[in-house]
Amino acid sequence: MVLILISGYEIDLERALDIIKRAGVRRVGVQVPDGLKRSAPEISRIIEESGAEVLVSGDPCYGACDIDLQLCSMVDLMVHIGHSEMCESLSDRIVYIEARMPDDVTEVVERSLEFFTKERVAVCTTIQHAHMIDRVIGILRSHGIEALAGGPSPRTRHIGQVLGCCYAAARVGADEALFIGTGRFHPLGLSMATGMRVIAADPITGSVEEIETHDFLRWRYGIIARASDAKSIGILISKKPGQRRCVTARRLSSLGRSKGKNMLDVCIDRIEPERIIDLGLESVVSTACPRIALDDARRYGVPVLTPPEFEIALGMRNDYTFDEIPEACGEPEST
């Protein structure tokens, strides 16, 4: 193990160093998510000791969907920290080194037990706790609960692993779910995407709570209503390889045009309020990471919708559907 400890995470560089040394890699790119960016100089120094030159990605990184393609083209090998492999077409150039949170989950899992009303419970988590999934399942089973976790999907690599845009691992035929992790976005998405009753247990803060979705739905339907009046609408297509959905974007543009809207297709790397204002758009539909429309919404002056929400706004869909990205690596560029 060549271990780096940062902000409560463990990063083991051994596998990356093995590959670099064995293959005699000359130029290495390093990409680290924002919360762990401060570890980049140390990671860089350790890799340089193996004789390679290092180039660090200075731009933000939000996931394995957000591979720095330009850096990738400038180096012989990329070391991508903190996320599990996603885009297989890039995988021969990239080593994924996960960042694990070693915090024990036993206490929050035990405290979650009283919340469940069914015998069958789906168990899932984010990448930093994915190595704990067997322990979580074990605890639930020892209390007579049939805990189940789905296998890897095109976008995930671990049993029980979910992403903000992918809840495949939780679709195991249960009505209730236990989510292990931090923040409200994933458990909310999990509940919205699967219709399950979700108990969120946070091993860092120790909080255990049932996720409520009514406020979310009320809020989203309000935004959809506001967007319905917009005449000039932008369809945002991400440049990030795992968020690029050209086929969806083109379909939504055609739908909008068929309803008499002025549509503008916008290819964009970082979606920010100024960008939308600059383009004079009254509403936008983000085909990128669902967090942009859902988690960052309050930063924008205009309604930002997900693709299914836009279909509701156009009157072409009735039921609320959470936006998931099923493909391994975005969508092909050509139809």
Among 97, 121, 246, 302, binds its own copies (CB under 8 A): 246
The stretch near its own copies (CB under 8 A) out of 183-191, 194-202, 210-218, 261-269 is 261-269
Taking the C-alpha atoms of residue 68 and residue 167, their distance in angstroms, rounded to an integer, is 24
7 touching its own copies, by CB under 8 A: no
58 near its own copies, rule: CB under 8 A: yes
Nearer to its own copies, 141 or 270 (CB): 270
Closer CB to its own copies, 10 or 265, in the complex: 265
Task: Enter the tokens of residue 266.
Answer: 């916008």
Rounded to whole angstroms, how far apart are CA atoms 175 and 117?
Answer: 9
- Cα dihedral 172/178/184/186 (nearest 10): -30
51 is a contact residue toward its own copies (CB under 8 A): no
Beta partners for residue 262, in sequence order: 232
**Interacting positions 20-49 with its own copies (CB under 8 A):** 29, 34, 37-38, 40-41, 44-45
Q: Residue 230 in 3-state DSSP?
A: coil
Least Å distance between CB 187 and its own copies?
27
Closer by beta carbon to its own copies, 239 or else 317: 239
Measured between alpha carbons, how far apart are the two ends of the chain, in Å?
A: 46
Q: Which of 182, 228, 232, 321 binds its own copies (CB under 8 A)?
A: 232
* Residue with Cβ nearer its own copies (26 or 143): 26
For the bound state, the minimum distance from the C-beta of residue 237 to its own copies, rounded and expressed in Å, comes to 7
| Separation between Cα atoms, residue 324 and residue 168, nearest integer Å | 9
What is the per-residue burial (b if ≥16 Cβ within 10 Å, else e) of 229-264? ebebbbbbbbebbbbbbbbbbbbbbebbeeeebebb
Residues in contact with its own copies by CB under 8 A are 29, 34, 37-38, 40-41, 44-45, 53-60, 68-71, 74, 232, 234, 236-237, 239, 246, 262, 264-271, 275, 278-281, 333
